Amino acid sequence: MQKRTRAVVSTVVFSLLAVNGTHAFGQSVRNEKQISLELASEAAMSAIAQCREQGFRVSAVVLDRGGNTKIAMTDDSAGLHTLDSARRKAYTALTFRVPSAEFAKRVATTPALASFEGVIALAGGLPIRSGNEVIGSIGIGGAPAGERDEGCAQTGIRKIQSRL
């Protein structure tokens, strides 16, 4: 009886090892490009500097591909609301993978889109792409028009684009 019990236990153990071992081979490692803190910082600083040259005090937010804040910066004397605006613009661009200005156009024809939490239908947010892959986003808030915010965001992306 003891031999039989050992045989059954051995069979069960080896079966479990075989199943778990096979399962491990079926898994793969995901390699995804990520925007580094250094590049996020450089993009944000470049965007703020561009807006400052135009006489605007703004905030900049860069999100990674998962929507996590990589960096959030507010220029000296920027308005109180600018940081929230910048974050929501970046979040909108990342969520829909289009400039937040494009999202604003979509809201004009499909108002229900504006009900998504955290989004904003204003220009100033852009997806950050490496090739065709969206790896993050940048949002600028504080210039007197969203198009000006978007121009500064574009300057930030151009500064780092060759290294993405």
Please, which residues have CB within 8 angstroms of residue 59's CB and are 6 or more apart in sequence? 48, 72, 73, 74, 75, 78, 82, 83, 85, 86, 140, 141, 142
Residues facing residue 133 across a β-bridge: 130
Residue pLDDT, tens place only, 126-146: 999 999 999 999 999 999 999
In a domain, 26, yes or no: no
In a domain, 45, yes or no: yes
Task: Give domain status of residue 136, yes or no.
Answer: yes
pLDDT at 117 over 60: yes
Residue ranges making up the domain that contains 147: 37-163
Supply the DSSP symbol for 134. Answer: E
Tell me whether residue 88 is in a domain: yes
In total, how many domains does the chain have? 1
Task: Answer whether residue 4 is part of any domain.
Answer: no
Does residue 151 belong to any structural domain of this protein?
yes
Confidence class of residue 2 from pLDDT cuts 50, 70 and 90? low
| Element of type H or E holding 61 | strand 59-64
Q: Is the pLDDT of residue 125 over 80?
A: yes
Residue 150 sits in a domain whose CATH number is 3.30.450.150
Instruction: State the pLDDT at residue 30.
Output: 80
Mean pLDDT of the chain: 91
pLDDT average, residue stretch 51-74? 98
Burial 121-134 (b: 16+ CB within 10 A, else e): bbbbbbbbbbeeeb
Q: How confident is the model at residue 31 (pLDDT cuts 50, 70, 90)?
A: confident
Task: Give mean pLDDT, residues 87-102.
Answer: 98
Domain membership of residue 85 (yes or no) is yes
Q: Report whether pLDDT(35) > 80.
A: yes
Residue at 12 is within a domain:
no
